[in-house]
A and B are shown apart, each in its own frame.
Chain A
């Protein structure tokens, strides 16, 4: 019963993976956000370059990777050595043409970390700060915005009297008041308690669906990036490692560095044994320490038989079961459980397939109990082709 259900989910995901890069649709190219920016600091260089479609873009990377700086560059709030920044046909910065549009004229809504609400103004005054309207029109617009972010009744409170979540909503409403072309959110959830953060993630995505203003959001939290983003830009040490749809970045990280950042930690090394064309894809058979793994690959990557490759494993695609098998079936391997580590609502079960091949699999508690998994248990591991990710960069290893 349970297994058939898991299988359904797998099939669904399979069809999802067949459709890469859905976020970059050609019809939207007119409103692409483009930034190339260089800034040298003592001990740190920001050198970023990416183009993203309108939608919710997440700048994702560890702290100190230059995410916030990139956001400030987009707002026109930080000095750059050289830059080209444009939103669709609107040029914001072009150092070659000696053109710089100041932040006052960019019409961006900027929500910095911990919101920077004006402490001397109440909620309504904060929201009205950037309005050019006066009198009745201004009051009406503020009322609309307050309603949009569900702050009715709190108009006359000061920021210090609000909860973190309410402050965030004031900051969003204030940023929206000027009808911005782009919303910039710097770690919008990091100032909040873990309990509130979960709810507000969903609220934030719902908010985006309501207002539909292109957004760039900064986070160091992989889960947050995964939940919120249409497009993800992965940053590290001031550089862009990968730009792509959420699906691409999290399921098919371009490099091992990105894989580490998005939580794909398992790495196996092997060689390509055979390649078979199936429609637009290729079925690759890999030999990893004598085990035969199947993988799928899009046609645009050159690979050849005999090539040594590195694979990453999507551990959420693995199925664990009891019993012994002599690998009669495709993609099923026997292994032994090494350690089981508690991770809150699930456990990380380390399965050893061979002395050099092991993988940490997230297993729910009920599953662990019903299979009576414990350290030393002999198990069967199903590694479907969807679980195997071939790193594109490893293909250079023959050259």
Chain B
């Protein structure tokens, strides 16, 4: 008697929620399919026979190497300077802080090509920084350095924003206690804040690295050469057509899937949701 009562009470809201559930599931399924179907069709349609010849193209491997190297260097530099900035933004208040917070978002909202133009104006051969450096033989545009500069500009906000919110979620009382235990500012950062923000920072760095790896718009303006993988794909696409670009797209896909696998592994290791 009691049991049936409880059951009927449960089933009533469940059934009404069921309709909403179906609608929401269908809406969600549409977008999920929209993302998955092209990828699957891409793999199915790929001219697997011509793959080996395309993959023996040394320029493709060179482009991949350039991409991996530049994205990794950019990410290290972003971490080195971006994590301290995130900490300062999370912990201190100073005049103009709100403005700085907004400015950091600009590279996210800019079309990447615009970011590239902005950088080229400053670092290009006729810019106030790029000019003198070019004069002494240190060209920034069309070099690996140029690629890295473009990637840092575009990817840094992801790291900074993620790290800042990771620092902000730390209970301030932990730092207060550490202070009463004799720990100075430097120690607070290394022994309390940084280890506790680790998960968020790692998430930000992975996101930033992926953003740098896939960067096209700013890179193509700032440094057309040496080719990164996205730029080389574009070159093949415009030169040979889709057939020429397909094996390279597969290469890019494999790298991305590999990274997602890595993220899942890290997530499993640190027991925290990274992305």
Question: Residues of A with Cβ closer than 8 Å to B?
Answer: 72, 75-77, 102-110, 112, 116, 118-120, 129-130, 132, 174-175, 177-178
Can you offer 15 A-B residue contacts whose CB atoms are under 8 A?
A76-B179, A77-B179, A102-B179, A110-B176, A112-B176, A116-B171, A116-B176, A118-B178, A129-B183, A130-B181, A132-B182, A174-B177, A175-B181, A177-B181, A178-B182
Question: Would A118 and B176 count as touching, CB distance under 8 A?
Answer: no
Question: Would B176 and A129 count as touching, CB distance under 8 A?
Answer: no
B251 within 8 A of A: no
B196 within 8 A of A: yes
B269 within 8 A of A: no
Question: Would B180 and A118 count as touching, CB distance under 8 A?
Answer: no
Q: How large is the interface on B (under 10, 10 to 19, 20 to 34, 35 or more residues)?
A: 10 to 19
Question: Would A130 and B183 count as touching, CB distance under 8 A?
Answer: yes
How far does the alpha carbon of A258 sit from the alpha carbon of B196 in the complex, in Å? 43
Question: Would A106 and B180 count as touching, CB distance under 8 A?
Answer: yes
B21 within 8 A of A: no
- B183: chain A residues at CB < 8 Å are 104, 129-130
Determine which residue in B171, B180, B183, B192 has the highest number of CB atoms from chain A within 10 A of its CB, and name it: B180
B184 within 8 A of A: yes
How far does the alpha carbon of A118 sit from the alpha carbon of B170 in the complex, in Å? 10
- The B interface, classified by DSSP as helix, strand, loop or mixed, is helix
User: How many residue pairs at the A-B interface have CB separations less than 8 Å?
Assistant: 57
B86 to chain A, nearest CB (A): 18
Question: Would A116 and B174 count as touching, CB distance under 8 A?
Answer: yes
A112/B177 contact (C-beta < 8 A), A118-B192, A119-B196 known: yes
Question: Would B180 and A109 count as touching, CB distance under 8 A?
Answer: yes
Known pairs A102-B179, A116-B173, A129-B178. 8 more at Cβ < 8 A? A77-B176, A109-B180, A110-B180, A116-B174, A130-B181, A132-B182, A174-B181, A178-B182
How far does the alpha carbon of A132 sit from the alpha carbon of B183 in the complex, in Å? 10
Residue of A nearest to B188 (CB): A104
How far does the alpha carbon of A102 sit from the alpha carbon of B179 in the complex, in Å? 9
B221 to chain A, nearest CB (A): 43
Question: Would B195 and A112 count as touching, CB distance under 8 A?
Answer: no
Question: Would B196 and A120 count as touching, CB distance under 8 A?
Answer: yes
How far does the alpha carbon of A177 sit from the alpha carbon of B177 in the complex, in Å? 13
- B195: chain A residues at CB < 8 Å are 120
Partner of B174, one of A75, A118, A132: A118
Question: Would A178 and B176 count as touching, CB distance under 8 A?
Answer: no
Question: Would B177 and A116 count as touching, CB distance under 8 A?
Answer: yes
- Interface mask (B146-163 → A, CB under 8 Å = 1, otherwise 0): 000000000000000000
A133 to chain B, nearest CB (A): 12
A104/B177 contact (C-beta < 8 A), A118-B192, A119-B196, A120-B195 known: no
Determine which residue in A104, A107, A174 has the highest number of CB atoms from chain B within 10 A of its CB, and name it: A104
- A119: chain B residues at CB < 8 Å are 196
Partner of A104, one of B173, B182, B198: B182
- B181: chain A residues at CB < 8 Å are 129-130, 174-175, 177-178
How far does the alpha carbon of A75 sit from the alpha carbon of B176 in the complex, in Å? 9
- B176: chain A residues at CB < 8 Å are 72, 75, 77, 103, 110, 112, 116
Determine which residue in B178, B183, B184 has the highest number of CB atoms from chain A within 10 A of its CB, and name it: B178
- B184: chain A residues at CB < 8 Å are 104
Residue of B nearest to A119 (CB): B196
- Interface mask (B13-26 → A, CB under 8 Å = 1, otherwise 0): 00000000000000
B257 to chain A, nearest CB (A): 31
Residue of A nearest to B198 (CB): A120
Question: Would B196 and A77 count as touching, CB distance under 8 A?
Answer: no
- For chain B, residues 103 to 131, give those with C-beta under 8 angstroms from any C-beta of chain A: none
- A116: chain B residues at CB < 8 Å are 171, 173-174, 176-177
- A109: chain B residues at CB < 8 Å are 180
Residue of A nearest to B179 (CB): A103
How far does the alpha carbon of A112 sit from the alpha carbon of B174 in the complex, in Å? 9
- A175: chain B residues at CB < 8 Å are 180-181
How far does the alpha carbon of A301 sit from the alpha carbon of B145 in the complex, in Å? 85
- Interface mask (B175-210 → A, CB under 8 Å = 1, otherwise 0): 011111111100000011001101000000000000
- A178: chain B residues at CB < 8 Å are 181-182
- A75: chain B residues at CB < 8 Å are 176, 180
A-B pairs with lowest CB-CB distance, top 9 = A130-B181, A110-B180, A116-B173, A103-B179, A112-B173, A120-B195, A103-B180, A104-B182, A77-B176
How far does the alpha carbon of A358 sit from the alpha carbon of B9 in the complex, in Å? 50
- Interface mask (B66-101 → A, CB under 8 Å = 1, otherwise 0): 000000000000000000000000000000000000
